[in-house]
Chain A
């Protein structure tokens, strides 16, 4: 757009005020929004124009007009810029720059027959206040979440990382409706290849508009054919700043209350910043619990289907008796029963997410308790399966990332189908396929399963569990940061008893 119009963007100044007014109104053909006022001051005509709802009216009246009209000087462009007690003054003479700034919320002052026009940025952006994180709730630690305003978000990032090394690179993405995207990294830590890759991907993007940062992720991720998310999308500033201080890269976008963290390995989706705030042993326990939960969520229902359909020998006798009793009246094969219940849980979750909070809770109770009990009494499902399905649904919600949780819940369905077709062999096929797939996925060109493969011994204690802070003196070697050392090891003397 810019290139094509450059030739027409001739300098229109100097110009008469009434001509300027006509010109501006003609440019805003269908809009009645332009407020164009002409003041007569010290024998000069001065035009002031702006779009009322884009600027703060108080500021225009008190800071600009008051000064302009009460001052006895005879105004010209230079004197306005020099004497007006406003900092954002800017000269311009190109028509399309003027139009662009006008939309963004600038106030223009033009003294008749001058060569240039002066603009002041007095924009007002309607935005909500900072609030608590909704999708990634934490028990301890900072509660604040990003908002839709980029300036607010940048402000938050700046006060979380006090360093001149923090780079907030501005990249405009989108052709027709371009959006401001910020590439955030710490220059002395972040791996340069990663930064370059990310910058390249953002700059090479040729789309006409981006709805949200989650759409941006889908454009710039390594592979769109995999079910696994490759970049962490978070609304928590502390998570973002922690990642950035570890040498990873953050991306923020205008109008999106979410940040991208890249590269994000499979295991980083199971990390919560809360693990850091807890003591190392409780933190480790919670993290290991999440991995177990993921495994349970993925295999429990398929295992039930496999065992009941093909291999009832592996079920211990006593359990087999009660299982037989509860399944005695069920007329369907186990696979049908399992898929029915899993779908019901997904329905409840989806309905709960769409409905207003208060109604959602009610629906949850009605769906979970009433339908569950009724289904067993009607003989559609066995109550043991209800327990399994509920456990695996619960387990899938322990994953801190909602995207990863959804992925795991979705993966359950092919697993159930495979278990229904080939029993344990089918399940094992599913697991093997999944692992091979994970080995093939990359995130920002780095292996998704690192630090397990490629194996990095020194990162294991940050990923699978956590050692005490004294052992956390190094950053993630898997991401190859420029500066690996966070701090030197504590000099700890070995003490004998009674010294």
Chain B
């Protein structure tokens, strides 16, 4: 397996789209329930936790970028093999594959559950799974350019939802944030960790980097992307905590969606129906990118054709949808993914950095 990726120029994308790729994979189903989980840990100081999380994810992003820049045109799978050798490198690659598969499953399951709770209590999970899988397969078959197009287009088509938060934002009670600075450092940190499921997705940079044409311009889009995601999560959390009293918030699983409920127009009551349907557009880029990452990693590491992985993974995904239906089980999948993902995405790159630097020095020394 080559460390560096060789690509046809027709497959490459501009650095500018990294912004949309990273925000699309970060803003998905996670943010619907995030405020409650953060609030559970950090209470009225949740906003500090989120700011910590933003700073931390920025640091991780720059560490990732730094690692990638040590190589000519490599992705994480190649780098791991280069550093740890074939066997350990591939084993670590397998960890990424497992994470992509798990994250994909958790996202699909969560969206299906939300649809069941808000719109169709009696719809079969399998049918919903089929609907989503058709869209995923159709997009991934189009290749990376279509996937990036989906991220870009759906980003533009979903961000109007933010306007619907104006009305709940006017009804914020600032008393819910006082007294400030009560949480201890551990509470703040565990609040930040609770938000990790939402902030996940930056690992896509590790895979997509070789596809970027103008690599020197990657810094700006990824910084803005991390800030944008952070700002939106901060905004929704602040509004949610300000809008609901602590008791109400603890009772509401999908607190962000509940915010949209109070929005009414003269021609549409109950806007949350539209929002939940529209959320398909929010979470689809998420699923598509994870599926692409899964198929692409399989091809990179084991030379399995992407189509084979795509269809096999879809079948497993459907089986997962049909069997995992209970709220408890879904929560368990999410917890497993977010706990393991936390280490893989936010901690592992920082651990990897010294190895990369040592390897680089060693190579230089050998050359001299």
Contacts and interface: CB of A to CB of B under 8 A. Distances in A.
Nearest to B130: A429
Contacts of B131: 422, 425-426, 429
Nearest to B266: A316
B269 interface: yes
Q: Tell me whether chain B's interface is mostly helix, strand or loop, or mixed.
A: helix
Interface stretch (B83-91, B276-284, B292-300, B327-335): B276-284
A207 interface: no
Contacts of B268: 314-316
B270 interface: yes
Contact of B138 (A319, A424, A428, A436): A436
Contact of B267 (A319, A422, A429): A319
Nearest to B156: A452
A314 B154 CA distance: 24
Contacts of A425: 115, 119-120, 123, 128, 131, 277, 280
A128 to B, nearest CB: 45
A429 B135 contact: yes
B134 interface: yes
B240 interface: no
Contacts of A317: 269
A424 B135 contact: no
B119 A449 contact: no
Given A316-B266, A319-B267, A423-B120, A432 B284 contact: yes
Contacts of A454: 14
Interface in A435-493: 435-437, 439-440, 447, 449, 452-455
Contacts of B33: none
B152 A435 contact: no
B76 to A, nearest CB: 26
A428 B281 contact: yes
A436 B281 CA distance: 11
Contacts of B266: 316
Q: Tell me whether chain A's interface is mostly helix, strand or loop, or mixed.
A: helix
B150 A314 contact: no
Contact of A424 (B14, B139, B149, B274): B274
B276 to A, nearest CB: 8
Given A436-B142, A440-B142, A424 B273 contact: yes
Given A429-B280, A432-B284, A455-B152, A424 B119 contact: yes
Contacts, number: 90
Interface string A5-34: 000000000000000000000000000000
Contact of A449 (B138, B142, B153): B153
B129 to A, nearest CB: 12
Contacts of B59: none
Given A424-B274, A425-B120, A429-B135, A435 B150 contact: yes
Contacts of A436: 135, 138-139, 142, 146, 150
Interface in B136-158: 138-139, 142, 146, 149-150, 152-154, 156-157
Contacts of B14: 454
Nearest to A318: B266
B281 A315 contact: no
B300 to A, nearest CB: 24
B302 to A, nearest CB: 27
B146 A440 contact: yes
Range, interface on chain A = 20 to 34
Nearest to B142: A440
A427 interface: yes
Nearest to A421: B127
A54 B169 CA distance: 81
Contact of A435 (B127, B153, B273): B153
Nearest to B138: A436
Contacts of B123: 422, 425
Contacts of B281: 428, 431-432
A427 B131 CA distance: 11
A285 interface: no
Nearest to A315: B269
A454 B280 CA distance: 23
Contacts of A437: 138
Given A311-B119, A436-B142, A440-B142, A449 B269 contact: no
A310 interface: yes
A439 B150 contact: yes
Given A313-B269, A423-B119, A432-B281, A439 B274 contact: no
Contacts of A453: 149, 152-153
A433 interface: yes
Contacts of B280: 425, 428-429, 432
A440 B149 CA distance: 9
A436 B138 CA distance: 8
Closest 9 A-B residue pairs measured CB to CB? Answer: A424-B277, A439-B149, A428-B277, A453-B149, A440-B142, A314-B270, A313-B270, A428-B280, A439-B146
10 contacts: A313-B269, A314-B274, A424-B276, A425-B120, A428-B280, A428-B281, A429-B131, A429-B135, A429-B280, A439-B149
Interface of B: 14, 16, 115, 119-120, 123, 127-128, 131, 134-135, 138-139, 142, 146, 149-150, 152-154, 156-157, 264, 266-271, 273-274, 276-278, 280-281, 284
Interface of A: 310-311, 313-317, 319, 422-429, 431-433, 435-437, 439-440, 447, 449, 452-455
Given A314-B271, A435-B153, 4 more contacts: A311-B270, A429-B134, A452-B156, A455-B16
